[in-house]
A and B are shown apart, each in its own frame.
Chain A
Amino acid sequence: MFREEFDKHNWDEVLSGIYAKTAADVERALNKNKKDLEDFKAMISPAAAPYLEQMAQMSHRITRKRFGNTVQLYAPLYLSNECQNICTYCGFSYDNKLRRKTLSGVEILQEAEYLKKQGFEHVLLVTGEAAKTVGVDYLRDAIRLLRPHFANISIEVQPLDEDEYKVLVAEGLYAVLVYQETYHKENYKQYHPKGKKSNFDYRLDTPDRLGNAAIHKIGLGVLIGLEDWRADNFFTALHVNYLEKHFWQTRYSISFPRLRPATGLIEPKVVISDKELVQLICAWRIFNEEIELSISTRENEVFRDHIIKLGATTMSAGSKTNPGGYTVEAESLEQFEIDDSRSVTEVKQMIEKNGYKPVWKDWEQFTMV
């Protein structure tokens, strides 16, 4: 279990270790052939800030070699905003007074039809955590409904048990995104005071359960804005390293959600600048040449236009973050504000203008479902 590896590291020591990195450490890291976790610390440290352009060029070169001149596109499909967790940063938080909505089968298909027309083949299903209404049965039914319409289905929902994941994998589920939000165990409790999500360890063990369930891809990440992003990303890298060694047939992706304004939310405790986020993304790419890096519509147009050349491989476009947001109930409350509200066509044109090819389909189910 990753937990054993995690327990060997102390947050404060990691943090001071990162801040103690020097220009010499950064140069050694950048010039080394295979990068280790100490090199990753150097590349995300303040000492690496002057090396940003050099890191960007490395990241650009490595990404193109591995992924070519392509950007994978996907669309989030919010199925429900019902949630029994209190999360101090989330619009769907239980204590947030808003009209709750869970899509019916007919409504799911209506939303799916809209996304298909836009060209999407990869879709990410999102829910809050409400075991009675959006438990594993609901998710299984949703995947069963959507399988014939999309090449690739992922979920971003509450952590499930291993057997439950197995059920969904057998239905054709491709990936699960499960962000730890923060690896700061003590402060995690403050952000998640109530609900099943307040169990730090159960969430931390989730990728192990997913690996055991033979999922194709696991998406990791932290919510940037809660705790020091450098330390949190070190722990994410530690997690990925562990997982790659134990579940070597699984693919991994990293996301970089920044805390965005939403109704009833706390203010970010730490703010990452655009420069620092670029540094972080480039550091990830140089550290792990094969990992997928995903950028959502939380980021603004200018940032997204440029990040394609800096290491990102996957993007959402034309997103709505409220259940039914595409066609069923456009006005329901969203999880967070979208910053890049361009249409799918506009995003596609932007990618092409950058000399890249939007990829709609990169998966085929090669087993009987």
Chain B
Amino acid sequence: MISNENIMSDPLIIAGKIFSSRLFTGTGKFGNHNVMEEALLASGSELVTVALKRVNTDGEDDDILQHLHHSHINLLPNTSGVRNAEEAVFAARLAREALQTNWLKLEIHPDPKYLMPDPVETLKAAEKLVKEGFIVLPYVHADPVLCKRLEEVGVAAVMPLGAPIGSNMGLKTLEFLQIIIEQSNIPVVIDAGIGAPSHAAAAMEIGAAAVLVNTAIAVSGDPVRMALAFKMAVEAGRMAYCAKLGTVKTFAESSSPLTEFLN
């Protein structure tokens, strides 16, 4: 019998912080904030990204933040909207002040069409922000070398994309994600492109530390139920990873025509 204890003894640790949920979520694209809150609660997510550009940073009561006041929910402000390292650093400082956290999802996508992360500016900004004491989680392409470089400058985790943001296309970068996971000494969180619970389960099965899902939950027909489906898929995928999947066989075992003469 597998007890719940076994499952619970597999926590995710990022920068010393323990997470019992490996599903990170976002706050964009929801049709109303009550549904958003309900969905986030159903997901069990303990780390929720918020676009700094969307919230009131001038101290007024913010419409989005009001719905995130739950003791288990940690905010992960993101720098969406910045175009280079300099703006990202500016945004990070603003986020730290406005949201009272040094955790940061560093995303620099100067291309507003496909929102592709800029590797050069991201590395530059990450280096600076780590020195300033931020817990940096950079959103990057599924680029194994870049992920190693980011690890070297001290980011807390890397967040490579599965497919373009908001595309729901699944793990289009699978081969590269596997290399990143194999080589990484820090948690790998697969972010962007995860469009269905099966994609999330697949990400967990290959050894991702966590996944970040927003669009697929927010624009589904029933965001609350979809959030729950993702929660279950992430748990199932993680459990499958820990249990070690059986080998996928690409050839039959019964005969060995080439080596039979050796017997």
Residues of A within 8 A of B (CB): 64-70, 151, 244, 248-251, 290, 352, 355-357, 359, 361-364, 366-368
Please give the distance in Å from B104's CB to the nearest CB on chain A: 13
Residue in contact with B53 in the complex, picked from A69, A249, A355, A362, CB distance below 8 Å: A362
Query: Cβ of B54 and Cβ of A362 under 8 Å apart?
Result: yes
If the complex has contacts A249-B83, A364-B81, are A357 and B30 also in contact, measured as CB distance less than 8 A? Answer: yes
When distances are taken between beta carbons in the complex, the residues of chain B under 8 Å from A352 are 32
If the complex has contacts A67-B29, A251-B112, are A364 and B166 also in contact, measured as CB distance less than 8 A? Answer: no
Cα distance, A355 to B167, chains bound together (Å): 22
Query: Cβ of A364 and Cβ of B28 under 8 Å apart?
Result: no
- Using a CB-CB cutoff of 8 Å, which residues 50-72 of chain B contact chain A? 51-57
Cα distance, A61 to B189, chains bound together (Å): 27
Residue in contact with B215 in the complex, picked from A68, A248, A355, A363, CB distance below 8 Å: A68
Query: Cβ of A363 and Cβ of B81 under 8 Å apart?
Result: yes
When distances are taken between beta carbons in the complex, the residues of chain B under 8 Å from A249 are 83, 110-112
Cα distance, A64 to B31, chains bound together (Å): 10
Query: Cβ of A367 and Cβ of B31 under 8 Å apart?
Result: no
Query: Cβ of A366 and Cβ of B112 under 8 Å apart?
Result: no
Encoded as 1 (CB less than 8 Å from any A CB) or 0, chain B from 149 to 172 comes to: 000000000000000001110000
Number of A-B contacts (CB under 8 A): 77
Encoded as 1 (CB less than 8 Å from any A CB) or 0, chain B from 13 to 43 comes to: 0000000000000001111110000000000
If the complex has contacts A68-B219, A69-B218, A364-B52, are A357 and B111 also in contact, measured as CB distance less than 8 A? Answer: no
User: Please, which residue of chain A has its CB at the minimum distance from the CB of B110?
Assistant: A249
Cα distance, A352 to B33, chains bound together (Å): 11
When distances are taken between beta carbons in the complex, the residues of chain A under 8 Å from B87 are 366-367
User: Please, which residue of chain A has its CB at the minimum distance from the CB of B93?
Assistant: A366
Query: Cβ of A65 and Cβ of B168 under 8 Å apart?
Result: yes
Cα distance, A344 to B151, chains bound together (Å): 49
Cα distance, A357 to B90, chains bound together (Å): 28
Query: Cβ of A366 and Cβ of B90 under 8 Å apart?
Result: yes
Q: Is B86 interfacial (CB 8 A cutoff)?
A: yes
When distances are taken between beta carbons in the complex, the residues of chain A under 8 Å from B83 are 249
Cα distance, A367 to B31, chains bound together (Å): 30
When distances are taken between beta carbons in the complex, the residues of chain A under 8 Å from B30 are 68-70, 357
When distances are taken between beta carbons in the complex, the residues of chain B under 8 Å from A68 are 28-31, 215, 218-219
Cα distance, A368 to B54, chains bound together (Å): 19
Task: Tell which of A251, A357, A359, A367 has the most Cβ of chain B within 10 Å.
Answer: A357
Please give the distance in Å from A324's CB to the nearest CB on chain B: 27
When distances are taken between beta carbons in the complex, the residues of chain A under 8 Å from B31 are 68-70, 355-357
Encoded as 1 (CB less than 8 Å from any A CB) or 0, chain B from 214 to 248 comes to: 01001100000000000000000000000000000
When distances are taken between beta carbons in the complex, the residues of chain B under 8 Å from A366 are 79, 81-82, 87-88, 90-91, 94
When distances are taken between beta carbons in the complex, the residues of chain B under 8 Å from A363 are 53, 81
When distances are taken between beta carbons in the complex, the residues of chain A under 8 Å from B90 are 366-368
Cα distance, A65 to B168, chains bound together (Å): 8
When distances are taken between beta carbons in the complex, the residues of chain B under 8 Å from A70 are 28-31
Query: Cβ of A65 and Cβ of B219 under 8 Å apart?
Result: yes
Query: Cβ of B56 and Cβ of A65 under 8 Å apart?
Result: no
Q: Is B113 interfacial (CB 8 A cutoff)?
A: yes
